[in-house]
């Protein structure tokens, strides 16, 4: 079987995969990083969203073998260096942006991508950006609130750093 090597959450990894092995399978089955979830088989739900070279990607939609040398970031790589919750994660906890937690990794990764592109999105922009992520539990109300809070928190952090 062919081998693929990449960097996941800053760690170099490699493993044998079949041609049909999806990135999400490589993460979950080979690397046992089970924080990235599979909620569908049609690329609709967004539970599997990770970052590949900084861009948000549905990991159920790409083959591992095509990703030689890329940098992948998953939910396991979103905490602060000391292990405490990162700002987006903390905002989700603070604002009850999750219930069963199944969509949550994808939501957090999508939120991170949004805030990297657009540091102060409006509610309508947040809702539009979440189009590819389904949550069955929260009705999105508190997810939107969490992302708004994270945006404010990150902005405050930037101001403080200046």
Partner 1 sequence: MPKDFGIGAPVKRREDVRFLTGKGRYTDDLNRPGQAYVHFLRSDVAHGRIAKLDTAAAAAMPGVLRVFTAADFAAVGGIPCGWQVTDRFGQPMQEPKHPVLADGKVRHVGDPIAAVVAETLAQARDAAEAIELDIEDLPAVVDMRAALAPDAPKVHDELASNLCFDWGFIEDNAAAVDAAIKAAPHVTTLELVNNRLVPNAMEPRAAVGEYDAADDQHTLWTTSQNPHVIRLLMGAFVLGIPEQRLRVVAPDVGGGFGSKIYHYAEEAFVTFAAKVVGRPVKWTASRSEAFISDAHGRDHITKIELATDENGKFLALRTDTLANMGAYLSTFAPCIPTYLHGTLMAGNYATPLIYVHVRAVFTNTVPVDAYRGAGRPEATFQIERVIDKAARELGIDPIEIRRRNFVRPDQFPYQTPVAVLYDTGNYQATMDKLEALSDRAGFPARREASAARGKLRGFGVAAYIEACGIAPSSLVGSLGARAGLYESATVRVNPTGGVSVFTGSHSHGQGHETSFAQVVSDLLGIDAAQVDIVHGDTARVPFGMGTYGSRSLAVGGSAIVRATEKIIAKAKKIAAHLMEASDQDVVFKDGRFTVAGTDKSVAWTDVTLAAYVPHKYPIEELEPGLEETSFYDPANFTYPAGAYACEVEVDPETGEVEVVAFTAADDFGNIVNPMIVEGQVHGGIAQGIGQAMLEVAAYDETGQLRSGSLMDYAMPRADDLPSFTVDHSCVTPCTHNPLGVKGCGEAGAIGSPPTFVNAVLDALNAGGFGVDHIDMPLSPARVWAALAAAR
* Binding partner of 26, given partner 1, ligand FES, none, CB within 5-8 angstroms per partner class: none
Shortest distance, position 109 Cβ to ligand FES, whole Å: 11
- Rule CB under 8 A: say whether 66 interacts with partner 1: no
**How does strand 71-73 pair with strand 55-58?**
unpaired
> 116-154 burial, b for 16+ CB within 10 Å, e for fewer?
eeeeebeeeebeebbeebbbeebebebbbbbbbbbbebb
The answer to whether 47 contacts partner 1 (rule: CB under 8 A) is yes
Q: Which residues of the chain form contacts with ligand FES (CB under 6 A)?
A: 38-40, 43-48, 58, 60, 98-104, 135-138
How does DSSP assign 43-94, residue by residue? S-S-TTEEEETTEEEETTSSBGGGGTT-EEE-GGG-S-TTSSPPHHHHHHHH
- Decide: 135 and 143 in contact? Cβ < 8 Å: yes
Contacted by 127, from ligand FES, partner 1, none: CB < 5 to 8 Å by type: partner 1
Please report how close the Cβ of residue 128 comes to ligand FES at its closest, in angstroms.
17
Give the residue with the Cβ less far from ligand FES, 2 or 139: 139
Q: Alpha-carbon distance 105 to 37, whole Å?
A: 7
Q: Which of 131, 160, 161, 162 binds partner 1 (CB under 8 A)?
A: 131
Looking at 133, 149, 150, 154, which residue binds partner 1 (CB under 8 A)?
Answer: 133
Binding flag, residue 76, partner 1 (CB under 8 A): yes
Q: Which helix (H) or strand (E) holds 104?
A: helix 104-117
Of all helices (H) and strands (E), which one includes residue 152? helix 141-161
Q: Is 26 in the site for partner 1 (CB under 8 A)?
A: no
Which residues are at the interface with partner 1 (CB under 8 A)? 18, 20, 28, 32-42, 44-45, 47, 74-76, 78-79, 85, 89, 92-94, 96, 98-105, 108, 123-124, 126-128, 130-131, 133-145
């Amino acid at each position: 079987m062919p081998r693929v090597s990449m960097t996941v959450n800053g760690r170099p990894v490699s493993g044998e995969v079949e041609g049909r092995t999806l990135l999400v399978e490589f993460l979950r089955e080979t690397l046992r990083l089970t924080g990235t979830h599979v909620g569908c088989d049609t690329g609709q739900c967004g539970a599997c969203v990770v970052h590949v070279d900084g861009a948000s990607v549905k990991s159920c939609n790409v083959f591992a073998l095509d990703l030689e040398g890329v940098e992948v970031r998953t939910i396991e790589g979103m905490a602060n260096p000391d292990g405490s919750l990162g700002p987006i994660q903390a905002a989700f906890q603070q604002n009850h942006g999750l219930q069963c937690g199944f969509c949550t990794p994808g939501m957090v990764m999508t939120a991170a991508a949004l805030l990297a592109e657009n540091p102060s999105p409006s509610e309508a922009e947040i809702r539009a950006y979440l189009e590819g992520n389904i949550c069955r539990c929260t009705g999105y109300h508190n997810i939107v609130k969490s992302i708004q809070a994270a945006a404010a928190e990150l902005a405050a952090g930037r101001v403080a750093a200046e």
